[in-house]
């Protein structure tokens, strides 16, 4: 069982430590870019040789920053904060000139969200417990009142007493129901003692700092403390900007501490639980913003890189990532690339947990050339020790480990490493260790292996660089049988062979040789380039016997390399294709300027419906043992053409494996239904078998999660059917896989695929307020469909221009080497919320991109009129709950080039309000809107026949909607009904629908004309008398006799609705009508009008449209 809770045997790390026990990571510093590391977690205090395990803890996001710009001079050991508030200071504090900085911070703004949830639940339980005696007492009093009072003899005081008890009970019950714990507020003080800035946090809430410990920045003495016994939340302090900012550093989640434990935990009395490199030291860099639920930010990455440079870190681990629309692109990627290429820091990252379909890798780990991307491997030993599995299979990939290739052809995954571990977590979780799995765990396992290699190389005096390290890891990795390259890259990391490789080829790591060789691919007739060849779409391969590509190889030297070294570069490159269907020239003469050669991919040799992978490897002709200097990845997918809209697949798939089918989407298809059915009639075979269905399409400049569907389900529940929107004339991957930990052997499956088509023109419907309707032409190109269009508006969008903006340089905390200043644009918006509700605040010109964004970062903060922080949002907008009243929104964008920021000074803020669905009528004729017709009924859309429909305008609008505002929703055209398919009868999520609010109605006072009822039958004299009296009362509205007439009438007919209505409306409206008619010298009759009316001109105001 040794070395399996934190796996080391699989990578030969355990063998390396036995061979070289002193090369355990010592003299290596690892930066952990994550949610932050708890300095009090087990195994994270010391290294084997007695040095501090954690050198520094940094909150790079700013989410824990405290404004400390208020300066107060101490008098007699006290600080006068306000006329009624005085803080008592520790008499041992020696502040220069007795000057102190003061501030405060709400605890729940920087607490980890799981901890906030735990504390709120506990505090609510305490509140309910405290209120229960009062509720019980009130209930008993009510029961006693009921028992002791006879309803027939009640007096006014008795009723008042009962009402008081009812009101008291309502208040008590409401206090329990609406209880919301605001959390603690911490008073903070900081001062300069002549040597260091020191600070303290009052965890008692009393303002008494007399016994408080003033801690210096963590990197000075590694001091930390606990906020409370209840929370068990450890924190450290850092002071920035000459005392203006205090950072209360605590983690935003358990993830980062677990990652750090995998890399470098050291347990002196329990070495089995050590991390991979127990001798390494770490720098904790919190890039997960507490205000955003631990989501990473560009600011966190930027400041994190500066912390790496400050502490001279050797390697960075980043187990974070997001989907990106553009691979190997974006301002954050540029910053990481500079760290790697210029400063020689190895950067290791996870590739994502969104498999098993191809192309599911995330940025930055899977999409950036400067980063080593790591996939997740599980071994039989891990299955036994970590997962306690009785039934185990041979090692392989976790089903969810993301797969390459990238859309630009790069393989995406570089190496494989164990993707699970049981190790330390923060103390606030109230548990010592946890099992976590993911590429978030495989990346730190690989990082630990890198730390071992660097430790050994430093000990023997060998210098290396990140690209040489990558070549060593890739060249010595071991291929895992039956696992494709898209998930394991070059194979499973092997520390011992990699160390021997680096010792033998260390001369290649000097600056006199290129750092790496940049690969760029172009195809004749196109301007786009990639880092590899990826032929996937029907247009890439259908009807072609071969495809020729141009490969450009560019040597990249270190920025400080002398020109003489570049002039001396003269290499003979041997080109070797790994597959017979890839043709490349045998050699390439390479100099400092780029060289281009042609390669041919022979498509006619390849089968359809599967993914083919190969490479062109470039070796130094004089030193092939060094391994490839560059690789040109080639991926070819020839989709299967579907003769009919419906096809059936019958794979048999074992746990840990996956079945893929690549189908060409027929022309005209708009969505696909996929149903997965067990292929065995025996319930015991399929019982509790978890299966993954993953559908994937590629779309240029679109994040992969926007064109995919990923579902997990158990076959014993029912046959599973799902639907996904598709793009016609492109390739869709249908991937099914039993989960890796599903027992029971190979599983026979039946996968039914049906392409469906209701194609609208235009696909996005826009209705302008006042135009009545918008025409949409529908056609079914694959088969006859039943249609019943339905349209709904679900969001109301307001747009706001800034009220003010400012561009300014950031502080030294964000200043790069060589005095490169980062600038910030802060834009302010103001609006008034009519009522409390959920809102999404968006900056469409920026949103949707994090790593592939051209700007360093973006952040949106919302405040109320009292400057209380209501919520935060970033590149991926989140829904916020905003109260009624004035709202102030501040957006921050950062970049080194302030001229670029100036161009965003007038960007528009979109506020998407969540509204109750508004049904929009859809008519079958163009006159439906003007005639007020009923919405169209269900009809048949015959194949190939175009049918027009007309999307109308909503009858009602949200309160507060103004001209120019936009309502958005979706429109579906298929008829929803019960079918044998458990997919959708319509394109999932429908098609976009937009309604632009038209001009406002003129302000007129509503006038309701009450007509008399039809004449009563002679036999119904009482009803006729009632109607006659009612008519007289209506005529008396606004006259002195109204009250008397109404009183007599209501006494005779107390439940007659017209009499109740006229009293409720009051005399004001009718008095206004009387004055209007008087001004026209015309008496309006309330009886039915006819041509013989005694008015010379009849007048009737049209009823207003409801909004």
Instruction: Look at residue 992 and tell me if it is in a domain.
Output: yes
**Cα(396)–Cα(483) distance, integer angstroms:** 6
**H helices, E strands: number in the chain:** 20, 60
**In the chain, % of residues over pLDDT 90:** 82
Per-residue model confidence as pLDDT tens digits over 596-641: 999 999 999 899 999 999 999 999 999 999 999 999 999 999 999 9
Average pLDDT in the 47-58 region?
Answer: 98
Average pLDDT in the 845-873 region?
Answer: 95
433 and 297 within one domain: yes
**Cα(557)–Cα(552) distance, integer angstroms:** 16
Q: Which residues contact 753 (CB under 8 A, 6 or more apart)?
A: 642, 646, 647, 648, 649, 661, 663, 672, 673, 674, 734
404 and 311 within one domain: yes
Q: What is the pLDDT of residue 304?
A: 98
Residue 573: give the domain boundaries: 516-638
Instruction: Look at residue 432 and tell me if it is in a domain.
Output: yes
Q: Quote the number of domains for the chain.
A: 7
186 and 202 within one domain: yes
Q: What is the pLDDT of residue 981?
A: 53
1009 and 974 within one domain: no
Q: What is the pLDDT of residue 1073?
A: 47
Which residues on neighbouring strands pair with residue 52, listed in sequence order? 46
Q: Predicted confidence band at 1076 (pLDDT cuts at 50, 70, 90)?
A: very low
What CATH number is given to the structural domain containing 772? 2.60.40
Q: What is the pLDDT of residue 680?
A: 73
Tokens of 617: 């490897």
Average pLDDT in the 856-884 region?
Answer: 95
SS3 223: coil
Which residues on neighbouring strands pair with residue 920, listed in sequence order? 791
Which residues on neighbouring strands pair with residue 65, listed in sequence order? 247
Q: Which range is least confidently modeled, 524-538, 659-673, 853-867?
A: 524-538
Listed ranges 27-36, 696-705, 710-719; the one with the highest mean pLDDT = 27-36
Q: Which residues contact 855 (CB under 8 A, 6 or more apart)?
A: 298, 331, 846, 893, 894, 895, 900
Per-residue model confidence as pLDDT tens digits over 445-498: 999 999 999 999 999 999 999 999 999 999 999 999 999 999 999 999 999 999
Instruction: Look at residue 443 and tell me if it is in a domain.
Output: yes
Q: What is the pLDDT of residue 1092?
A: 39
Q: Which of 3, 24, 247, 255 is catalytic?
A: 255
Long-range contact pairs involving 1004-1008 (C-beta distance under 8 Å, separation at least 24)? 1004/1101, 1004/1104, 1005/1069, 1005/1072, 1006/1069, 1006/1101, 1006/1103, 1006/1104, 1007/1069, 1007/1073, 1007/1076, 1007/1101, 1008/1069, 1008/1103
**Cα(215)–Cα(221) distance, integer angstroms:** 9
945 and 865 within one domain: no
Q: Predicted confidence band at 152 (pLDDT cuts at 50, 70, 90)?
A: confident
Instruction: Look at residue 1094 and tell me if it is in a domain.
Output: yes
Instruction: Look at residue 81 and tell me if it is in a domain.
Output: no
Q: Predicted confidence band at 1059 (pLDDT cuts at 50, 70, 90)?
A: confident
Torsion of CA 935, 940, 943, 944, to 10 degrees: -40
Average pLDDT in the 568-577 region?
Answer: 97
Instruction: Look at residue 561 and tell me if it is in a domain.
Output: yes
The answer to whether residue 410 is catalytic is no
SS3 1009: coil
Average pLDDT in the 776-804 region?
Answer: 95
Average pLDDT in the 872-886 region?
Answer: 95
Last residue of a domain, one of 996, 1014, 1036: 996
Q: How many CB atoms lie within 10 A of CB 71?
A: 13
817 and 784 within one domain: no
SS3 readout for 682-711: CHHHHCCCEEEEEEECCCCCCCHHHCEEEE
What CATH number is given to the structural domain containing 562? 2.60.40.3170
For all residues of the chain together, what is the average pLDDT? Answer: 91
What phi, psi does 1087 have (nearest 5°)? -85, 175
Q: Predicted confidence band at 768 (pLDDT cuts at 50, 70, 90)?
A: very high
Q: What is the pLDDT of residue 1019?
A: 46
Per-residue model confidence as pLDDT tens digits over 948-993: 999 999 999 999 999 999 999 999 999 876 554 556 778 888 999 9
What phi, psi does 1032 have (nearest 5°)? -60, -40
Which residues on neighbouring strands pair with residue 786, listed in sequence order? 940
Tell whether the torsion through CA atoms of 783, 785, 790 and 792 is positive or negative. negative
Last residue of a domain, one of 249, 271, 292: 249
Q: What is the pLDDT of residue 1051?
A: 78
Q: Residue 121, exposed/middle/buried by CB under 10 A (0-12, 13-18, 19+)?
A: exposed
365 and 495 within one domain: yes
Average pLDDT in the 1095-1099 region?
Answer: 35
Q: Which of 24, 34, 408, 1027 is catalytic?
A: 34
Q: How many CB atoms lie within 10 A of CB 253?
A: 22
Instruction: Look at residue 559 and tell me if it is in a domain.
Output: yes
Per-residue model confidence as pLDDT tens digits over 492-546: 999 999 999 999 997 644 668 999 999 999 988 777 789 999 999 999 999 999 9
The answer to whether residue 463 is catalytic is no
Asked if the model's pLDDT at residue 1095 lies above 50, the reply is no
Tell whether the torsion through CA atoms of 32, 34, 38 and 43 is positive or negative. negative
Q: What is the pLDDT of residue 1023?
A: 75
Per-residue DSSP letter, 780: B
Last residue of a domain, one of 863, 886, 907: 907
Cα Rg, the chain, nearest whole Å: 36
**Cα(994)–Cα(860) distance, integer angstroms:** 25
Q: What is the pLDDT of residue 1002?
A: 74
836 and 884 within one domain: yes
266 and 214 within one domain: no
The answer to whether residue 210 is catalytic is no
792 and 840 within one domain: no
Please check whether residue 349 is in contact with residue 397, taking contact to mean a CB–CB distance below 8 angstroms: no
**In the chain, % of residues over pLDDT 70:** 91
**Cα(324)–Cα(371) distance, integer angstroms:** 15
Q: Which of 254, 350, 440, 873 is catalytic?
A: 440
Q: Which residues contact 604 (CB under 8 A, 6 or more apart)?
A: 545, 546
3-state helix, strand, coil in the chain (%, to 5): 25, 35, 45
Average pLDDT in the 307-323 region?
Answer: 98
Q: Predicted confidence band at 1099 (pLDDT cuts at 50, 70, 90)?
A: very low
Please check whether residue 415 is in contact with residue 240, taking contact to mean a CB–CB distance below 8 angstroms: no
Average pLDDT in the 337-342 region?
Answer: 98
Q: Which range is least confidently modeled, 363-377, 717-731, 752-766, 814-828?
A: 717-731
962 and 922 within one domain: yes
SS3 readout for 938-990: CEEECECCCEEEEEECCCCCCCCCCCCCEEEEEEEEECCCCCCCCCCCCCCCC
Average pLDDT in the 96-100 region?
Answer: 96
Q: What is the pLDDT of residue 391?
A: 82
Q: Which residue from 367, 333, 331, 407 is spatially nearest to 707, judged by alpha carbons?
A: 407
Q: Which range is least confidently modeled, 152-166, 414-428, 839-853?
A: 152-166
Tokens of 596: 């281009």
531 and 498 within one domain: no
CA dist 939 → 780, 942, 973, 993 (Å):
13, 9, 10, 21
Cα-Cα end-to-end distance for the chain: 70
Tokens of 1057: 């609705």
What CATH number is given to the structural domain containing 740? 2.60.120.680
Which residues on neighbouring strands pair with residue 687, listed in sequence order? none
pTM for this prediction: 0.88
Asked if the model's pLDDT at residue 1011 lies above 60, the reply is no
Q: What is the pLDDT of residue 1093?
A: 39
Instruction: Look at residue 175 and tell me if it is in a domain.
Output: yes
């Amino acid at each position: 069982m040794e070395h399996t809770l934190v796996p080391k045997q699989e990578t030969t790390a355990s063998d390396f430590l036995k061979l070289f026990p002193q090369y355990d990571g010592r003299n290596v510093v690892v930066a952990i870019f994550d949610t932050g590391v708890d300095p009090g977690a087990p195994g994270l205090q010391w290294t084997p040789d007695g040095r501090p395990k954690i050198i520094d803890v940094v909150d790079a996001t700013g989410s824990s920053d405290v404004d400390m710009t208020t300066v107060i001079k101490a008098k007699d050991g006290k600080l006068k904060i306000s006329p009624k508030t005085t803080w008592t200071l520790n008499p041992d504090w020696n502040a220069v000139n007795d000057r102190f900085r003061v501030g405060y911070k709400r605890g729940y703004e920087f607490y980890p969200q799981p901890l906030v949830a735990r504390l709120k639940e506990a505090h609510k339980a305490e509140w309910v417990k405290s209120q229960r005696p009062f509720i019980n007492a009130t209930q008993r009093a009510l029961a006693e009142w009921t028992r002791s009072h006879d309803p027939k003899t009640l007096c006014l005081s008795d009723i008042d007493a009962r009402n008081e008890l009812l009101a008291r009970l309502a208040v008590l019950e409401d206090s329990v129901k609406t209880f919301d714990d605001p959390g603690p507020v911490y008073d903070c003080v900081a001062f300069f003692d002549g040597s260091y800035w020191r600070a303290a946090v009052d965890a008692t809430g009393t303002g008494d700092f007399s016994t408080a410990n003033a801690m210096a920045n963590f990197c000075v003495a590694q001091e930390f403390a606990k906020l409370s016994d209840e929370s068990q939340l450890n924190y450290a302090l850092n002071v920035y900007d000459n005392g203006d900012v205090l950072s209360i550093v605590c983690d935003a989640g358990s993830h980062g501490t677990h990652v750090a434990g995998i890399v470098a935990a050291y347990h002196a009395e329990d070495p089995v639980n050590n991390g991979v490199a127990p001798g390494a030291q770490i720098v904790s860099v919190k890039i997960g913003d507490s205000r955003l639920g631990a989501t990473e930010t560009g600011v966190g990455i930027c400041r994190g890189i500066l912390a790496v440079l400050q502490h001279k870190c050797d390697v960075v681990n980043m187990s974070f990532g997001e989907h990106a629309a553009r691979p190997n692109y974006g301002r954050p990627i540029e910053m990481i690339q500079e760290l790697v290429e210029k400063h020689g820091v190895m950067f290791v990252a996870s590739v994502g947990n969104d498999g098993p379909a191809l192309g599911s890798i995330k940025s930055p780990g899977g999409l950036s050339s400067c980063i080593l991307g790591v996939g997740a491997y599980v071994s039989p030993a891990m299955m036994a020790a970590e997962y306690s599995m009785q039934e185990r299979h041979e090692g392989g990939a976790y089903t969810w480990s993301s797969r390459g290739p990238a859309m630009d052809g790069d393989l995406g995954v570089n190496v494989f490493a164990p993707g699970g571990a049981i190790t330390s977590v923060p103390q606030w979780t109230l548990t010592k260790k946890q099992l976590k799995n993911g590429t978030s765990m495989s990346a730190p396992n690989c990082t630990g292996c890198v730390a071992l290699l660097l430790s050994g190389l430093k000990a023997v005096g060998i210098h290396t660089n990140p690209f040489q390290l990558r070549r060593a890891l890739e060249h010595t990795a071991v291929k895992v049988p039956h696992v494709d390259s898209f998930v394991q890259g070059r194979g499973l990391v092997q520390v011992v062979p990699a160390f021997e490789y680096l010792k033998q080829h260390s001369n290649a790591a000097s600056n006199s040789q290129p750092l790496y060789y940049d690969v760029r691919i172009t195809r004749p007739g196109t301007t786009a380039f990639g880092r590899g060849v990826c032929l996937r779409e029907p247009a890439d391969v259908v009807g072609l016997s071969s495809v020729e590509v141009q490969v450009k190889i560019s040597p990249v030297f270190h920025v400080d390399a002398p020109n003489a070294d570049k002039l001396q570069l003269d290499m003979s490159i041997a080109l070797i294709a790994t597959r017979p269907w890839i043709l490349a020239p045998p050699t390439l003469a390479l100099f400092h300027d780029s060289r281009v050669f042609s390669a041919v991919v022979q498509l006619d040799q390849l089968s359809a419906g599967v993914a083919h992978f190969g490479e062109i490897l470039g070796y130094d002709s004089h030193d092939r043992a060094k391994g490839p200097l560059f690789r040109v990845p080639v991926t070819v997918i020839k989709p299967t053409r579907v003769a009919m809209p419906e096809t059936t697949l019958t794979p048999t798939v074992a746990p840990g494996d996956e079945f893929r089918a690549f189908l060409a989407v027929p022309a005209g298809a708009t969505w696909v239904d996929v149903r997965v059915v067990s292929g065995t009639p025996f319930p015991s075979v399929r019982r509790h078998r978890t299966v993954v269905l993953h559908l994937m399409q590629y779309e240029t400049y679109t994040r992969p999660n926007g064109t995919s569907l990923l579902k997990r389900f158990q076959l014993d529940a029912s046959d599973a059917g799902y639907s996904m929107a598709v793009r016609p004339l492109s390739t869709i991957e249908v991937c099914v896989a039993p989960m890796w930990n599903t027992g029971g052997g190979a599983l026979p499956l039946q996968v039914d695929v049906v392409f469906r088509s209701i194609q609208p023109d235009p696909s996005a419907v826009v209705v302008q307020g006042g135009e009545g309707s918008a025409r949409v032409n529908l056609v079914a190109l694959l088969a006859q469909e039943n249609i019943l269009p339905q349209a709904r508006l679900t969001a109301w969008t307001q747009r706001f221009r800034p009220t003010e903006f400012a561009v300014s340089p950031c502080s030294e905390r964000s200043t790069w080497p060589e005095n490169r200043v980062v600038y910030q644009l802060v834009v302010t918006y103001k609006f008034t919320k009519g009522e409390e509700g959920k809102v999404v605040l968006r900056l469409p010109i920026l949103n949707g991109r994090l790593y592939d964004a051209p700007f360093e970062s973006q952040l949106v903060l919302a405040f109320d009129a009292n400057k209380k922080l209501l919520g935060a949002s970033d590149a991926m907008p989140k829904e916020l709950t905003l109260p009624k009243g004035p709202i102030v929104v501040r957006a921050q964008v950062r970049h080194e080039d302030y001229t670029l920021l100036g161009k965003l000074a007038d960007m528009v803020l979109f506020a998407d309000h969540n509204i109750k669905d508004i049904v929009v009528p859809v008519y079958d004729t163009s006159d439906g809107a003007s005639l007020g017709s009923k919405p169209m009924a269900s009809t048949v859309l015959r194949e190939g026949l175009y049918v027009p429909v007309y999307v109308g305008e909503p009858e009602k609008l949200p309160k507060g909607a103004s001209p120019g505002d936009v309502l958005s929703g979706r429109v579906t055209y298929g008829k929803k009904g019960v079918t044998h398919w458990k997919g959708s009868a319509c394109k999932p999520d429908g098609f976009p629908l937009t309604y632009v609010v038209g001009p406002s109605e003129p302000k007129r006072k509503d006038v309701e004309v009450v007509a008399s009822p039809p004449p009563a039958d002679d036999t119904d004299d009482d009803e006729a008398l009632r109607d006659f009296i009612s008519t007289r009362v209506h005529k008396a509205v606004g006259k002195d006799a109204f009250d008397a007439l109404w009183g007599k009438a209501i006494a005779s007919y107390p439940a007659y609705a017209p009499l109740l209505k006229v009293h409720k409306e009051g005399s004001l409206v009718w008095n206004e009508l009387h004055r209007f008619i008087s001004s026209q010298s015309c008496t309006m009759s309330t009886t039915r009008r006819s041509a013989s009316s005694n008015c010379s001109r009849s007048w009737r105001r049209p009823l207003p449209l409801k909004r």
